[in-house]
Amino acid sequence: MGINAVSQDKKLYLVDVSSLFFRAYYAISHHLSSSKGLPTNALYGLLSMTEKFIREHKSEYIVYCFDHEKPSFRVKIYPEYKANRGEVPEDLKVQIPYIKKLVSALGIPMVEQAGYEADDLIGSLATTAQKQGFKIVIVSGDKDFAQIVSSSVSLYDPMKEISYNPSGVQQKWGVRPEQINDYLAIVGDSSDNIPGVFGIGPKGAKKLLQEYDSLEQIYKNLDYIQKKTAEKLRNSKKEAFLSQELAHIVTNVGLKKQVPSFHRQPIQTETLRELLRELDFKTFEKKLCPSPSTKTELVGPASPPQKIKKLSSNLRLHCLEWDELKSFIQPYGKVWCFSQENQYFLAYKNKVITLENHNLQRVGQFFSDRRIYWCGYDLKKIWKDFDCRHPLPYWCAMIAAYLIEPGPPGGFKKVCLKYTGEVVDHSLAPGEIYQRHKKLNKELEKQLKERNMIELYEKVELALISVLYGMEKKGIMLDPLELEKQAREVNQKIKMTEKEIFDYVKHEFNLSSPKQLADVLFKEMGLSPLRKTKTGYSTDMDVLNKLRAKHPVIPLVLEHRELFKLKTTYIEALPPLINKKTGRIHTHFRQALTATGRLSSINPNLQNIPIKTRRGRKIRKAFIAPKGKKIISADYSQIELRILAHITE
């Protein structure tokens, strides 16, 4: 696999074509077809992702990797591999021959090889390209690729628009990239018919790998693992190591067809134009094969419900020009905003407009400048995506649903089904989704009026959305130097506490392991256990507090837990959340969550900053105000009792 050396800032994009093609097929309406009756939904989705990806990522170096039509070596090892998959649907099968034609016409290098899957080709190309100075981006929605993520290899899911580096992999799956193969060996993979260990799921696999590091070490330490778990592992040992082999991505395939260059070649304009015309992809023809007179067209009005299906393919196409967008929206006082498949749409009166992602901030600024009101579901999230300055709320279906039935309302799909009886899925055209928003609005407004809640909704909850958005956008200042100082103090105290504990028990052990701690307390030291769990004797805070007076080591264990929690939950966790541009933490306030109406916050949770202990209160010192200003802390202590007392007067 020969490639030329390149500068270290060059990125090579390795695309798992099968993953994206199949996902596009199921994500886009099956009614999309050419004038000759050829189904085109999967081709449209793949081409849309390709065009958007190349445009947004400026991809110069890119390779499309294909599964070969012949079975891979894994089928020889395990004939049942992927045997659970049904036949490829006929309307998808007829689209497959066009994939390589389109990719070739776009000037994108392609590779495939008999006996191997695209995963193995991507793994091997990544290994070779890294040696030549490339940074690698694997483009796929397949979690298997997490096993080869490293400091120079990242995994990007274009459907979800999420990128994973090593820390992202650990955050998502709870294990390091180099442990993913063993993680899959334990949990299996139903989509590929990889068996795994029967009875152990992601939570159990994560716990085992965190404690024993690898599949081999897990099996070497079965005598120390909880009895039922060890039994499951013994019973499935053959399947576990078979699954490890099946899930492993090969990184040293000797490709028979060498890739002379990873550099994307110029588009074969005439060939591509013929293909796009055959598929009736007129918008892509204008974008990818433009003539001097080509002008981005305006998306037409949303048809009445009975005609929407005919218009669905047009409504899904790309955006109008900015000046036209302004001239069409400006006369209207309020506009609906919603998303579908990571694509935003604006709707007003009888029109639906598709927005390019790079235009969102301009739209947000324009709405603020012209005092145009927003309607939608979860306005605060929409405003964040549009980076609005002073947005004006008119209607938020999420808050309305929350008032009618307090508690987490769920997403738009769930709420729409509940109140209108209509399903929302990926097959709907944007115009149809717009109609469902309006129908849901009508039903929720009716129910608010029946409950005499309109005034509460408009004057309190709707107004609060803007306040909370402003608070999130502004953020709160945090002093990282104060937390650095506290980290040094806490780490020193943790070491001292651990030494005292180990001196008492005469040996070291993992204080974070409930099993090891239980063995020390109840087997070695002879303390009486108070409660048994599925995995052994409990060592939770309640049990330890009841045992506090039984042995001097117990208060030390409790102190160690407090210190360790402060360190991991706050002292070390907060500094990485500081926004580099603002120097502040920007939490997310959840207005529609609790049944009592109480606000909560996440990423990070700022309502649970410790206050009960002296050490916990010190963490609050890190939250600071700008020079010349102060932070005011207020607490509605026992508000329920105060309301009850007022009612009973």
Locus of tokens 């933490």: 585
pLDDT digits (tens, 9 = 90+) for 16-30: 998 888 888 876 655
Q: With 80 as the cut, is the pLDDT of residue 221 above it?
A: yes
Whether the per-residue pLDDT at 379 is higher than 90: the answer is: yes
pTM over 0.85: no
Convert the pLDDT of each residue in 122-150 to its tens digit. Answer: 999 999 888 888 899 999 989 999 999 99
Within 10 angstroms of residue 222's Cβ, the number of other Cβ atoms is 15
Q: Strands, E, within 126-169: which ranges?
A: 135-139, 153-157, 162-164
Taking residue 642's Cβ as centre, other Cβ atoms within 10 Å add up to 11
303-312: b (≥16 Cβ within 10 Å) or e = beeeebbebb
The pLDDT of residue 258 is 55
End-to-end CA distance of the chain: 84
Summarize the confidence of residues 595-617 as an average pLDDT: 83
The model's pLDDT over 288-298, given as tens digits with 9 standing for 90+, comes to 887 643 333 32
Angle of the 379-386 helix axis to the 360-370 helix axis, nearest 10: 110
pLDDT digits (tens, 9 = 90+) for 68-124: 888 999 999 999 898 877 778 888 889 989 999 999 999 999 999 999 999 999 999
Angle at 354 between CA 429 and CA 49, to 5 degrees: 80
| Listed residue (194, 215, 174, 47) closest to 119, CA to CA | 194
Which pLDDT band, with edges at 50, 70 and 90, does 373 fall under? confident
- Which single residue is written with the structure tokens 């955006």? 319
Average pLDDT over residues 347-374: 81
Mean pLDDT for all residues in the chain? 85
pLDDT at 311: 28
pLDDT at 534 over 70: no
Asked if pLDDT for residue 175 goes beyond 90, the answer is: yes
> Which pLDDT does position 297 carry in this prediction?
33
The full set of domains in the chain, from first to last, is 11-177 (3.40.50.1010), 305-474 (3.30.420.10), 493-577+609-624 (1.20.1060.10)
Report how far apart, in Å, the C-alpha atoms of 276 and of each of 64, 293, 567 are: 19, 18, 58
Give the C-alpha separation, 377 to 371, whole Å.
Answer: 19
Instruction: Give the pLDDT confidence score for residue 328 in this predicted structure.
Output: 58
CB 279 within 8 A of CB 34: yes
Q: What is the pLDDT of residues 317-355, one digit of tens each?
A: 234 445 555 655 655 578 899 998 778 988 887 778 888
